[in-house]
A = this chain, B = another copy of it.
């Protein structure tokens, strides 16, 4: 095993420093920290980079400098809400892609005036004639499909992973490219097993947590059935 890298020692010190400062407090400049810690600016920057990725610091160009990130209230977004009840309202974009074959519904998820995520849904255009023109953006997508096109949705098995922000998504969410995001994706089928909707959501994990539900388990039952 190797020794603890200096940049990680710097990170530890920075975390201590950070814990004592209230939100929004300007942080010492990188050059000053480098001198204080007796390290090169490059090394200190590597530690700062990680703290920025973790959402604990914010950096702005110019005279504004680095500051303690406001401890934003983490918005708790439930999986059920994400799938069923999201009404995109004004920020939705509907475009047809793949030679008119597919309709893409892209919506920015906003909480308290801040973007917290992007949802992108793909539908077969042939299954939903006139969708692009008739979609009511104040209605959750799945409810709209259920009501207007008589879709009956079956069980869902979404999966969750991490992804790095592409430059495009980074622009939408106000983060730097290559920022890690929480990714939730699913394929929705109707009751006959026909695929209906392919969606995924990218969430800023510094602003939103995904909450899930696991019903209570009776281990006695589990045990006797095994």
Q: List residues of A whose CB falls within 8 A of some B CB.
A: 1, 4-5, 8, 50, 53-54, 76, 79-80, 83-84, 142-143, 146-147, 152-164, 167, 171, 177-178, 180-182, 186, 191, 205, 209-217, 219-220, 222-223
Query: Which residue from B142, B214, B223 sits with its C-beta under 8 Å from A79?
Result: B214
B180 touching A211, Cβ below 8 Å: no
A160 touching B209, Cβ below 8 Å: yes
Closest to A158 in B: B212
4 additional contacts (CB under 8 A) given A5-B167, A146-B219: A1-B171, A83-B214, A162-B181, A191-B216
Residues of B within 8 A of A219 (CB): 84, 142-143, 146-147, 153
Query: Which residue from B1, B162, B178 sits with its C-beta under 8 Å from A182?
Result: B162
Residues of B within 8 A of A205 (CB): 161-162
Residues of B within 8 A of A167 (CB): 4-5, 8
Query: Which residue from B54, B156, B164, B220 sits with its C-beta under 8 Å from A213?
Result: B156
Listed residue (A158, A160, A214) with the most chain B CB atoms within 10 angstroms of its CB: A214
B79 touching A158, Cβ below 8 Å: no
Q: Which 4 A-B pairs have the closest CB atoms?
A: A180-B180, A146-B219, A156-B214, A162-B205
- Can you spell out 25 A-B residue pairs with CB atoms less than 8 angstroms apart? A5-B167, A8-B177, A53-B178, A83-B214, A84-B214, A84-B222, A142-B219, A143-B222, A143-B223, A146-B220, A147-B219, A153-B219, A156-B214, A157-B212, A157-B214, A158-B211, A158-B214, A160-B209, A160-B210, A160-B212, A162-B162, A162-B180, A162-B182, A186-B214, A191-B216
